Structure 1
């Protein structure tokens, strides 16, 4: 049974070592830390993390490869490195003092409807109290200096994602078009769709963060089983 779901983005700047003396991601990190703290307050038996990667894999293990993202420190061999989405999740959970077992799942950026649905159903069917941490960015085409430059189509699609997360609407997430999402560099599309199938309808939802400081939409949200939006 899923007792709580949190959504966080995964920009490298959430790794504090990469921000230097001026922490450009301080507000976003604070929102993510709040979301993870509330997720763990649901007293889960297990935390399941879902994040995008080049290939899908379950029970992913590894270390946070800070140096690979432009930081300093120990070199982590590629075979031992977590993908960025799971690395940021690992850091957030460690910072929150997570004591529950953590199981990490990578879902391919281009995973189709059947794969995301099947993975979501497997997570939903797990026994015990499960907290789901979903790592995913919105569109990266929200300005001339954005990674994907400006694409006006992203505002409508990103707006649908934002509304879905704010209102607890899984159907809107499963309706995202994979090809269009890829064109708009919506890195969280597959993870969001896994979440939608895992959590199901009837969610009490709360949006904690909504901004695009680097031309990429970052959303932080919390879902709990229920029937009405939280105040």
Structure 2
């Protein structure tokens, strides 16, 4: 069964090579690596789940190729991990994890049935498995945000933060997927999946949120749930 779950965001800038001489997300990186390192200590395996255009499993042997994300010039044509799974894989490396890893992509803004099915699948894992979930909050928190400004983003992200900090599985599971899509929530599926996995366990997790900020007009959270 899943023993702990960690939610971290997946901006490509967490791939350090993209940040230039001065790390623009140093505090986020420290919080994310710290949370992952603490969660995987003593784990038997890690399952990484992140958003992508198509759902499916990915090989953990594929490279984290930074040239695919935020760089100029020709992008590589060889197979490589999508951004969310690549960030998750890199965070595990920086946390010192060298055990078994499973990589699963979930469709952006997936409906409730696929989320429930994936939650059921993930629940059937060996004891000591840790779930590493990659997902951002709204990208519409300012005039310079990727999706410009939408005042509804603030209330939505506040509700997400309260659920993460309070271990409220039902609140995450039941997030409004349609509103999340309108607010460009990059973690819509990831957040609802975390809630569904936890709700299926039937007990309130011990919750800790160690980072919340919205650089670049995008909400980022780092939270750990221990079951």
* Alignment partner, residue 4 of structure 2: 4
1:136 correspondence with 2:138: no
Paired residues of 2:2 and 2:126 also in contact (CA < 8 A):
no
Distance verdict in 2 for CA 1:68–1:174, change over 3 Å: same
**Residue equivalent to 2:210:** 208
User: Which residue of structure 2 lines up, in the alignment, with residue 113 of structure 1?
Assistant: 112
Q: Which runs of 5+ in 2 are unaligned?
A: none
The number of aligned residues is 223
Kindly provide the CA deviation profile for residues 159-202 of structure 1, in whole angstroms up to 9, marking residues without a partner as x: 11111111111111111111110110001010111111222341
- Secondary structure of the residue aligned to 2:131 is strand
Distance 1:76 1:33 in 2: 27
- Which contiguous aligned blocks of 4+ residues in structure 1 show a shift greater than 6 angstroms? none
SS in structure 2 of the partner of residue 3 of structure 1: strand
Range with bigger deviation, 193-202 or 97-106:
193-202
How far apart are 1:65 and its partner, in Å? 2.1
Distance 2:40 2:221 in 1: 19
CA contact (8 A) 1:45 1:130 kept: yes
Deviating more after overlay: 144-153 vs 67-76:
67-76
- TM-score normalised by the chain length of structure 1: 0.92
What's the secondary structure of 2:137's corresponding residue? coil
Mapped contact 1:66–1:72 kept (Cα < 8 A): no
Q: Partner residue of 2:69? A: 69
Match of 2:226 in 1: 224
RMSD: 1.6
Q: Which residue of 2 aligns with 1:86?
A: 85
